[in-house]
Amino acid sequence: MSTSRRAIVVPCIDIQDGKVVQLVQGREKALEGPDALEMLERFTGFPEIQVIDLDAAMGVGENFAIIEMLASRATCRVGGGVRTPQRARQLIDLGAHRVIVGTAAFTPAFDDIVAEIGHEKIVVALDSKAGTVVVDGWATSLAVSAEQAITTFAEKCNGFLCTYVDKEGMMQGTDLEWFASLRGLTTLPITAAGGITSIEDVTSLLAMNVDAAIGMAVYTGRLSLTELLALTV
């Protein structure tokens, strides 16, 4: 099952304490990158950028000024701490092209978020660890798999961000079979994240019409932005 749109490479900008960072397993800071504007300039030419406000996700603050600056200069999908309709609306008002909703997608607040900004503006984050969806910063496991969850959101979002948490930030490759199984369950766009390390990972995902969210592999130089851009345009 596939969609008519062409899959793309999506570079990631994760923000913590006003700085661009990369975390391993969502907790341990592995590195700090250049400032957000410099990273955005490096990502020139990519059709969409993924921006995650880690402080908002962890409930310790927000980085609205940086998000607004990035969203005014590029097409950005933005996530991190979207737990209420008000927060979703704030991000849209700051210029977000789409809003990524994770934990709140599994709460009663989700229907209110959909009502506030419309399903076409929403990307549902399905983070999977040891075979089940994890929420609350990957601290809580739900009794549902991503495969089960993906079918319940068909009318409530415009795509999915699926993170293979077991490999996230570890530079060990990802689980292509898992992403292929998800691709077969929906015609909506799917973005793969977590452990994407090699150009072979990227080309395999694009071939199955799954977007590839790239973080650690770019920041450490394992993947070439020039090579990735050539796959996207």
What is the dihedral sign for C-alpha 82, 83, 89, 90? negative
Closest CA to 96 of 125, 126, 117: 117
Kindly report the backbone phi and psi dihedral angles of residue 186, in degrees, each rounded to the nearest multiple of 5, phi listed first: -155, 150
**Options 14, 53, 201, 211, the catalytic residue:** 14
CA 40/CA 94 separation, integer angstroms: 17
What six digits make up the tokens of 87?
Answer: 């927060």
Phi, psi angle pair for 215, to nearest 5°: -125, -90
- Given a contact cutoff of 8 angstroms between Cβ atoms, the answer to whether 37 and 69 are in contact is yes
Q: Within 13 Å of residue 75, how many CA atoms lie on the same side as its CB?
A: 7
Give the distance, in angstroms, between the CA of residue 165 and the centroid of all CA atoms in the same chain. Answer: 12
112 catalytically annotated: no
Annotated catalytic, 17? no
Question: Considering just the CA atoms, what is the radius of gyration of the chain in Å?
Answer: 16
Q: Which of 53, 55, 127, 175 is catalytic?
A: 127
Active site residues: 14, 127
